[in-house]
Amino acid sequence: MPKLNMVKALNLGLFQEMERDRDVLILGEDVGVDGGVFRVTDDLQRKFGSQRVIDSPLAEAAIIGTAVGMALYGLKPVCEIQFSGFAFQCFHQIENHCARYRMRSQGRFHIPMVIRMPYGGGVRALEHHSESEEQFYAHVPGLKMVIPSGPRTARGLLAAAIRDPDPVIFFEAKALYHASKEEVPEESETLPIGRAQVAREGSALTLIAYGAMVRVALEAADVLRDEDGVDAEVIDLLTISPLDRDALVTSVKKTGRAVVVHEAARSFGPGAEIAASIMDGAFLSLEAPVRRVAAYDVPFVGFAREKANVPDVPRVVTAARETLAF
């Protein structure tokens, strides 16, 4: 089994889906000759031609808007928005059209497309290049919102997203692109959208995270084990919407305590919905309030202050200890 980083795993996933289905095509800025600014689409134009891997003009709204038209015709476009911070220039196409065409046309049309966007901090990037704004998409009915946590989940979820008949927003943590290598089976595989995974089993407390924060949660769990003798469970959400509430509830019924970790700003973020789901499904099992460790409610802070804003291991450990001591 080859060991791949997340960039290579995503590239392999795209290659395999394009080989499998001629209706799959890629469009975005610099995705062709250049292979994307993070090289996720590297070499695909050479393999599949410029009609299938399209270097589009620089306009986010028309990338998504024309992809909607392609999807209405029956193709399966995979769009790349170069950085998620630029997606507000196409948010109207995503919200008004991707999410609604099935409903508006009462099932006559549907939008089988994927919108890939690098997101999140950790790469010393300028404004609009390091935000974490998944909550906007997770809130929109009709969309699915997926965030893998490593090479294998990235490849499997991307394949599932491309085969999904509905529009999927697919966030890729820039901090994970080259972070680690993982064994990825050569043959294609899909992971179910809407299903969380238990990344680490435990009984004292549930840490809930996704994307780049899964690593942080796992490291925090190690600290809690080593320093406190506490056995924390870590849930890797993988899909933000539709949320796997059963997985959350099952874990919290066992542990009685939960801390949610995300890079998005705290208020009205995914943590609020996760906490509400736990209240709905596991209220009587709760021994402490559900805590959120998230970015503060401030706009982009610049990478000189980023470490203080994005959740890190000490903040998660502190929140976990307070939750355990409640």
Partner 1 sequence: MPRIVLEPRFPVEYLSILDSDGNLDTALEPKLAADDLRSLYRAMVLGRRLDERMVRLQRQGRIGTFAPIKGQEASQMGSAFTLRRTDWMVPSFRETAAMIWRGWPIEKLLLFFAGHLEGGQPGRDQHDLPITIPVATQLPHAVGLAYAAQYRGDDVVVMAYFGDGATSEGDFHEAMNFAGVWHVPVVFVCQNNQWAISVPLKKQTHSRTIAQKALAYGLPGIQVDGNDVLAVYAAAHEAVDRARAGDGPTLIECVTYRLGVHTTADDPTKYRADEEVAMWEQKDPLTRFRTYLEKRNLFEAGLEQQVDEDIAEAVRRFESAPPADPLTMFDHVYAELPPDLKAQRAEMAAQAPAAPARPGEPRETPPGATPMRGQRLTRR
CB of 178 to partner 1, least distance (A): 33
* H helix or E strand, kind and range, residue 316: helix 313-325
Known catalytic residue: 129?
A: yes
Nearer to partner 1, 104 or 305 (CB): 104
β-pairing verdict for 182-183 and 3-4:
antiparallel
Q: In degrees, to the nearest 5, what angle opens at C-alpha 86 toward C-alphas 82 and 87?
A: 95
Choose among 248, 249, 253: nearest CA to 287.
253
Given 129, 139, 178, 262, which residue is catalytic? 129
Contacts of 46 (CB under 8 A, 6+ apart): none
Phi-psi region of 124 (alpha: psi -120 to 50; beta: other; left: phi over 0): left
Residue 12 backbone phi and psi in degrees, to 5: -65, -40
Choose among 310, 290, 258: nearest CA to 121.
310
Nearer to partner 1, 51 or 284 (CB): 51
Nearer to partner 1, 192 or 314 (CB): 192
Nearer to partner 1, 140 or 218 (CB): 140
Are 99 and 137 within 8 A, CB to CB? no
Contacts of 87 (CB under 8 A, 6+ apart): 60, 81, 94, 115, 117, 133
Are 116 and 73 within 8 A, CB to CB? no
Contacting positions for partner 1 (CB under 8 A): 25, 51, 56-57, 59, 61-62, 64-75, 77, 92-93, 96-97, 102-110, 141-142, 144, 164-166, 194, 242-243, 245-246
Nearer to partner 1, 41 or 277 (CB): 277
CB of 90 to partner 1, least distance (A): 9
CB of 245 to partner 1, least distance (A): 6
CB of 20 to partner 1, least distance (A): 17
The owner of tokens 């890190």 is 312
CB of 65 to partner 1, least distance (A): 2
Nearer to partner 1, 90 or 176 (CB): 90
CB of 232 to partner 1, least distance (A): 26
Choose among 132, 142, 147: nearest CA to 237.
147
Residue 115 backbone phi and psi in degrees, to 5: -115, 105
| Catalytic positions | 129
